[in-house]
Structure 1
Amino acid sequence: MHREKAATASPDASAVFYASTLSDMNGKPAALAQWRGKPLVVNFWATWCDPCVEEMPELSALQAQLQPRNIQILGIGVDTAANIAAFADKYHIAYPVYVAGMEGSELSRRMGNRAGGLPFTVLIGADGAVKRTWLGRLKMDDLRRELDSL
């Protein structure tokens, strides 16, 4: 798995993220600014991406563990609304999932994903700063260590 440092994120990465409005799985627009002030694990994924699909049950389980710590996982689907809704329903994703379509690729690039690959995960601190990015399938122990350091 290739790991990128947070330094690869553009200086305005979190500003771009918080300024974005994406639709939820029901097609309702949602401002990502609603998550400001909370530590976030933002996971860019697609239904056709095998490593993305493999890590999602682990992320769902992790969300339940993170709830008392006020840390939120968000899924940003780089896919069609229909594919994302069917997938989330089938696999019972336990965290908010937004539909970004191909615009999600550009957002992930602004967040530090120079290669444009998936999955791509961004750890944002409560202060809004990008703390770390990962390209490729997450190692949950690695993510937990980073979360413990927040």
Structure 2
Amino acid sequence: MIETIKVGMADLTVTKYPNILTTLGLGSCVGVCIYDSKNKIIGMIHIMLPYSWGVKNNSNPAKFADTGIPLLIKKMENLGSQKKDMVAKLAGGAQMFEVTRSEFMNIGKRNVEAAKKILDELKIPIVAEDTGGNYGRTIIFYSEDGRLEIKTIGKGTKTI
């Protein structure tokens, strides 16, 4: 039986075939989805902020790209995956509000940049992404083949 597992905001989950992972409401947050085609293991994290340093309440590692992505990979390895078999897909990182004063306030862009930097440091290739814009996304990640379905209001559904 296929189980659809919801990944909440500042949350991460890993699972094996035939299960599905989904997260709702990616605005400036980024969904980092990692797929191991050899073992059909998937992992998803819904990150809110790029870096944990300088944040007072940083006790939840899944909230941040710098602490959450390595933890996600570790959990996938605990299920039997190896980094050499992993690829990543990204979604989200929108600029939901007009920001004119500072690029620093564009959290979505900063989240995407941090996720890319950390994945690069961990040698996990990014094979597809749907990031930026000014609209929210809901994503569904399939362990069967690693496809990532992205649903947006007013823009329809696409698969990467």
Q: TM bucket by the smaller chain? A: 0.3 to 0.5
Please state which structure has a larger fraction of its residues in helix: 1
| TM-score, length-scaled by structure 1 | 0.33
Higher relative contact order (CA 8 A, sep 6+): 1
Name which one, 1 or 2, has greater alpha-carbon Rg: 2
| TM-score, length-scaled by structure 2 | 0.31
